[in-house]
Amino acid sequence: MPYTVTAYRADDASERIGQHFSAREFRCRDGAPAWFVSDALVELLECIRMELGSIPLIVHSGYRTPDHNRRVGGAAGSYHMSGVAADISVAGVRPALLASVARAEGAGGVGLYSAFVHVDIAGRRDWEG
C-alpha cells in the first residue's frame, strides 16, 4: 500500500506536522540531516492522542537511518526506515492500554514492550517484545 511520506531537514525541525507534533520529534536519534514521516502515521498518532483525552504522546523513535536501525537492533526491514512507524509512550498510561487504543484506532503493526509501544501503518500484526 503506498503512503504519502514527507521529507524533512534540520531547517524544518520546528515545523508542525499534525496538530500536536513537530517534525523534530520524528528525527533519527543519530542526528541525520534528513528524515521522513508518513502523513498517515501522524494521523494515527493524533487519533490515539485524542482517544486518550488529548494526553501528549512521547515519540521515542520515529524515522531511523539504516545505520542507526542496525545499531539499535531494529529489524532488517524495519518500517522506521520508511517513516511509517514510531515507538511511543504516554505518561501515566500502561503500555498494554496504549497498545489496545492503537489497535482500536487502526494501527497496522502493534508491538507491546515494557516501556513503550511500537505502532506502524503497515499490514496488521501484533507482537510482544
Q: Tell me: the pLDDT tens digits for 107-117?
A: 999 999 999 99
pLDDT of 5-40, one tens digit each?
A: 999 999 999 999 999 999 999 999 999 999 999 999
Do the Cβ atoms of 124 and 104 come closer than 8 Å? no
Place 3 in a pLDDT band, splitting at 50, 70 and 90.
Answer: confident
Residue 1 has pLDDT above 60, yes or no: no
What are the two backbone dihedrals, phi and then psi, of residue 107, each rounded to the nearest 5 degrees?
-60, 140
The residue whose grid cell reads 504516554 is 90
The vertex-67 CA angle with 45 and 98, nearest 5°, equals 20
Measured CA to CA in angstroms, residue 48 lies from 3, 74, 111 at distances of 19, 24, 15
Domains of the chain (ranges, CATH numbers):
5-128 (3.30.1380.10)
pLDDT of 56-95, one tens digit each?
A: 999 999 999 999 999 999 999 999 999 999 999 999 999 9
> Could you tell me what percent of the chain has a pLDDT over 90?
95
